[in-house]
Homo-oligomer: A and B are copies of this chain.
Amino acid sequence: VRVENEQRVLEAAGRLGYAVNLAAQTVARGHNGAVALLAKDIADGYFSPIAAGVLQAADDADLILTMGSTSGQGERTLRMLAGLRGHRPRAIIVAGSRTTDDRNTDRLVTALQQYETDGGRVVMISQPGLPFDTISVENVTAGRDLAIALHGLGYRKFAIFAGPGNVLTALDRTQGLIEALGELGTEVPVGNILICPMTRDGGYAAAGELLTRNAGVEIVIAVHDSMAVGALARFREASVSLPEDLAVAGFDDIPALRDVTPALTTVNIPWTQVGQLALQLALSERGPKRVAEMLRGHVILRQSTPALT
- Interface residues of A: mostly helix, strand, loop or mixed? helix
Determine which of B85, B200, B259 lies in contact with A19 in the assembled complex, contact meaning CB atoms within 8 Å.
B85
Question: Smallest Cβ distance from A64 to chain B, in angstroms?
Answer: 8
Q: A308 contacts the other chain (Cβ, under 8 Å)?
A: no
Distance to closest chain B CB from A173 (angstroms): 22
A100 within 8 A of B: no
Contact of A21 among B20, B45, B88, B200 (CB under 8 A): B88
Interface centre among A20, A110, A117, A232 (most CB of B within 10 A): A20
- Listed residue (A21, A32, A110, A114) with the most chain B CB atoms within 10 angstroms of its CB: A21
Q: Which residues of B contact A32 (CB under 8 A)?
A: 23
Q: How far is the CA of A117 from the CA of B200 in the complex (A)?
A: 46
Tell me which of B22, B45, B110, B111 contacts A87 (CB under 8 A).
Answer: B22
B residues less than 8 Å from A115 (CB atoms): 17, 19
A255 interface residue, CB < 8 Å from B? yes
Using a CB-CB cutoff of 8 Å, which residues 120-176 of chain A contact chain B? none
Residue of B nearest to A230 (CB): B259
Q: Which of A27, A47, A117 has the most CB of B within 10 A?
A: A27
Q: Is the CB of A20 within 8 A of B111?
A: no
**Within the complex, what minimum Cβ distance (angstroms) separates A140 from chain B?**
29
Q: Which residues of B contact A47 (CB under 8 A)?
A: 47
Query: When A23-B32, A87-B22 are in contact, do A17 and B260 touch as well, CB less than 8 Å?
Result: no
Q: A208 → chain B, closest Cβ, in Å?
A: 16
B-contact bits for A15-36, CB 8 A (1 contact / 0 none): 0010111111011000010000
Is residue A256 within 8 Å, beta carbon to beta carbon, of the partner chain? Answer: yes
Contact of A118 among B17, B22, B82, B111 (CB under 8 A): B17
Asked if A259 and B256 sit within 8 Å, CB to CB, the answer is yes
| Contact surface of A with B, Cβ cutoff 8 Å | 17, 19-24, 26-27, 32, 45, 47, 82, 85-88, 110-111, 114-115, 117-118, 200, 229, 232-233, 236, 255-256, 258-261
**A/B interface sample: 14 pairs, CB < 8 A:** A17-B111, A17-B114, A17-B115, A19-B82, A19-B85, A19-B86, A19-B118, A21-B27, A23-B24, A47-B47, A232-B259, A256-B256, A259-B259, A261-B261
